Amino acid sequence: MTDKTLFSPLQLGGITLRNRIALPPLTRCRSEQPGNIPGEMMVEYYRQRASAGFMITEGTQIEPRGQGYAWTPGIHSEEQIAGWKKVTDAVHQEGGTLFCQLWHVGRVSHTALQPAEQAPVAPSAVTATGVRVFIETGPGEGVLTSPSAPRELTTAEVKEIVALYRTAAENAKKAGFDGVELHSANGYLINQFISEHTNFRTDEYGGSLENRLRFLKEIVEAISPVFGSQRVGVRFAPLFTSTDEERVYLGLVESDPYATYITAAKMLNDLDIGYLSIAEADWDNSPELPEDFRSALRQAFRSPIMYAGRYTREKAQRVLENGWGDLFGFGRTFIANPDLPARLEQGHPLNPADASSLYGGTSKGYTDYPTYR
């Protein structure tokens, strides 16, 4: 048991976080077009939420092939770097900490989103099912559709993507971020390499679990010198059941998720990364993460562990008191309550989130949620 609360400070990568309430990565599809550039609306959105102890950006594609949804921001062009610099400056002026989530969707994309309308890339040529991607059909208009069939990356191309992650981390540093998080969840590219359901390669990146984790390991090794390994985080979504909802929203269910993710956590512990982020199911009546997994993860990984997914103040405090986690992401709650840490600490009522404005659109449902008066 611990006497720490959500409002106790936490050390992460040499930074003192003022509380343990985090803004987790939340796709909002509000970048400026053309070019997927963070604009003034995004500057205001992150500035408003800078009282969080820790903030991670929405998924930010590391290259044009890494995009799976219209209007998501990138970190691969000079214009994008300049746009993000305005965001980080605003957050730092408010005393906040902001990491950039580096994202590559792999097979979860469509030819309409790919350069020259080529096929998306993946560890193996297996089409994603049960998920949808979002493509633009006109200015400010789009439609959900099924992903296109991907093509398998060559071994040389896999190594080139590792190098692209390194470049993206360097770009994030130029943009003023405090660190980076690798999106290794939700069935996207790194998760596709890890999963036995999407990786049928016969080279050094396929076969055994050690080989399937190699892509992630090489990326961590490539990007760690940029900020220092303690300013690198990795996000997983370990699923222990296989309902349709979980497959659609969180990705892939391994035959032995416990062994897969505890092995991955031990590897990342040896690589001395700064934190692990665990995405849990977040819809009503979704299953709880097994407590034996939480305990084993705590044993396997010595740096801070962040959890997100349908958390309340009470649930987060329980996980903290049991010693299983250190930092807690509040997703839709933080969308609707830009002053969430103060509201939670003072017991003020919470604004409800407007589901219709989560993805794309204007400042409505983005920067117009009121603070508590």
Residue type, 65: R
Give the CA angle between residues 353, 359, 361 to the nearest 5°. Answer: 100
Q: How far is CA 100 from CA 43, 76, 103, 171, in A?
A: 14, 12, 9, 10
* Active-site residue identified among 69, 188, 307, 369: 188
Catalytic residue check, 261: no
* Tokens, residue 231: 């300013």
- Closest among 137, 218, 225 to 179, alpha carbons compared: 225
- Tell me if 43 sits within 8 A of 367, measured CB to CB: no
Q: How many CA atoms lie within 13 A of 117 on its CB side?
A: 2
C-alpha 351, offset from chain centre? 24
End-to-end CA distance of the chain: 35
Sign, CA torsion 339/342/345/351: negative
Active-site positions? 188
